Amino acid sequence: MSGFDVRLDDARRSRTLVFFATLSLGLIIVLGALLLRFSSPGGASLQAPPEPASADAIEALAEAAGDAGDGITGAPSLDTARAVIEAEHALFTAAPLRAAVESLDITVRAGQTLASVLTDAGADRVEAARAIAALDPVFSVRGLRAGQDLTIFFETPAGGDETQRRLAGLSFRPDVERTLTVARSGDRFRAREASLTLQREFVRVRGEVSSSLYMSAIEQGATDRIVVELAGILGYAVDFRTIQPGDAFDFVYEREVNRNGDTVRTGEIVYVNFAGRGSPIEYFRYTAPDGEVGYYTGEGEAAQRLLMRMPVNGARISSSFGMRFHPIHQVNRPHNGTDFAAPRGTPIMAAGNGVVERANWFGGYGNYVSIRHANGYLTAYAHLQAFGRGIRSGARVTQGQVIGYVGCTGSCTGPHLHYEVHQNGRPLNPMRLDLPTGRRLTADELPGFIAERDRLMTLRDSVMFANGAPPANADPALVMLAARAASAAASGSR
């Protein structure tokens, strides 16, 4: 039997005819459009000016811009950023025959408003006001902060010149989960908000210290922000100078992930366990009946102390409390505090709740802050590079609030924090303070705490690890099935 098939041959012939018919029709349309365009004097088109992109097109393209951001984890990947930019550009170039559209990437400077940003970029004041009015229902321009990145679009209508250049719209991300776009629609502007779909979940991080607690926790799937929070919780009871390789850590925290499983935002740590040189430390996050949130031991004793020993993270002690030879004055004299060497600009935290007594220049101490606390305690912080936001005499501060930044003002030989603690006017060694806890739950509060403690322990043993490992109490058979499924999926994607 021959290999010739009449039906197959007819099908090929039909497809060939359709192809050439389509090509011929396309050439005729293009030729007609060219003749129409150049039929008027000077080559001007007799066609009506292009209409702006339809509302439906704007909705679809803005949604595409929002969806393209699903992979953001604090800083977008190159592919994600390119997809967002392309979608935003398409939003302003979708109209047929629309001529040159240009975009300007601008970072808001201190003291600028959205109106001044738009007019400085070349927008007409009236049109800038219209664009801002359109944006107001989804974003208050008072929330615009220095450092915000914006993309501003300008268009020149087809056949127009530079004098007809006008504002086409703008786009920016006020946070990692939202994209805001304002687009021209005729003589009006229309705002669009595209939000990510996030899923809330808890994850567990467990491991042993190798080089440092920070690096070991990061390697097990924690984020930078979560490790800093962990250090703040442990800082009440752990001297970080004593941490050694082999010390064990275990904690659970909340996070929000997008559809790809990428972490978009982290929440709070709800459980902490650390086993170092001394007795193991275990804390549970609990909201007391009066609304106060804190971390408590299994018996209901607060982790928080009246004062923190070290009000700056990642520092080393460069000079201890007591008599010393002063490096500048070249004499032996009492050193009534502890010096913590740290990079310039490192945040300094308030050691406890209190009221700022002074925040100004203080002779050889340079920029200086003193805070009065309960029970006759006072803490002082010297040689600051700058003061924290709102730090002034009479301001109330909370424990852990940033009050300034490490510097080298006044009499000093290098960037460091000089930290003092006084009680009723008597200087104390900050590193040897034995302070009472901030709170112990009452008999009436304990039943509610115990129920929350038990819930968190069950949660700890049932959630996935941040590095992708299965839950600690997972059924081995289910774990094997999950591993096989993951392996099959990985093979299929190759």
122 lies in the same domain as 214: no
Which segment, 21-25, 174-178, 287-291, 472-476, is predicted with the most confidence on average? 287-291
pLDDT, position 193: 86
Which pair of structure tokens corresponds to residue 113? 């408003």
With respect to residue 250, please indicate whether it lies within any of the assigned structural domains: yes
**Mean pLDDT over residues 34-40, rounded?**
51
CATH number at residue 223: 3.10.450.350
Q: With contact defined as beta carbons under 8 Å apart, do 203 and 262 qualify?
A: no
**Cα gap 429→335, rounded to integer Å:** 10
274 lies in the same domain as 399: no
- Whether 73 has a pLDDT exceeding 50, the answer reads no
323 lies in the same domain as 285: no
**β 338-341/101-107 pair status:** unpaired
336 lies in the same domain as 419: yes
User: What is the DSSP-derived secondary structure letter of residue 413?
Assistant: S
360 lies in the same domain as 323: yes
Residue, of 356 and 243, whose pLDDT is higher: 356
pLDDT, position 234: 86
With respect to residue 18, please indicate whether it lies within any of the assigned structural domains: no
- Rg over alpha carbons for the chain, rounded to the nearest Å, is 32
pLDDT, position 403: 94
- Whether 256 has a pLDDT exceeding 60, the answer reads yes
Q: Which of 178, 195, 212 is the last residue of a domain?
A: 195
- Point out the least confidently predicted range of 70-74, 364-368, 389-393, 468-472: 70-74
CATH number at residue 416: 2.70.70.10
Residue 407, classed as helix, strand or coil, is: strand
**Cα gap 208→67, rounded to integer Å:** 38
**Cα gap 131→113, rounded to integer Å:** 13
**β 188-195/178-185 pair status:** antiparallel
CA atoms within 13 A on the CB side of 272: 27
191 lies in the same domain as 277: no
Print burial letters for 256-280: b (CB count within 10 Å at least 16), e (below 16): bbbeeeebbbbeebbbbbbebeeee
Question: Distance of CA 399 to CAs 236, 371, 426, Å?
Answer: 11, 11, 22
**Cα gap 404→398, rounded to integer Å:** 13
With respect to residue 44, please indicate whether it lies within any of the assigned structural domains: no
Q: How confident is the model at residue 142 (pLDDT cuts 50, 70, 90)?
A: confident
Q: Which of 172, 195, 218 is the last residue of a domain?
A: 195
H/E stretch holding 88: helix 78-93
**Mean pLDDT over residues 152-177, rounded?**
83
325 lies in the same domain as 409: yes
pTM, two decimals, is 0.55
With respect to residue 309, please indicate whether it lies within any of the assigned structural domains: no
- Whether 44 has a pLDDT exceeding 50, the answer reads no
60 lies in the same domain as 186: yes
Q: Which residues pair with 42 in a beta bridge?
A: none
Q: Percent of the chain at pLDDT above 90?
A: 33
Q: Which of 135, 163, 195 is the last residue of a domain?
A: 195
191 lies in the same domain as 225: no
Q: What is the pLDDT of residues 291-307, one digit of tens each?
A: 888 899 999 998 888 88
Q: What is the mean pLDDT of the chain?
A: 78
User: How many domains does the chain fold into?
Assistant: 3
Which structural domain, as residue segments, surrounds residue 125?
A: 55-195
- Whether 177 has a pLDDT exceeding 70, the answer reads yes
**Cα gap 31→156, rounded to integer Å:** 26
366 lies in the same domain as 392: yes
Q: What is the pLDDT of residues 357-415, one digit of tens each?
A: 999 999 889 999 999 998 899 999 999 999 999 999 999 998 889 999 999 998 888 89
With respect to residue 310, please indicate whether it lies within any of the assigned structural domains: no
191 lies in the same domain as 61: yes
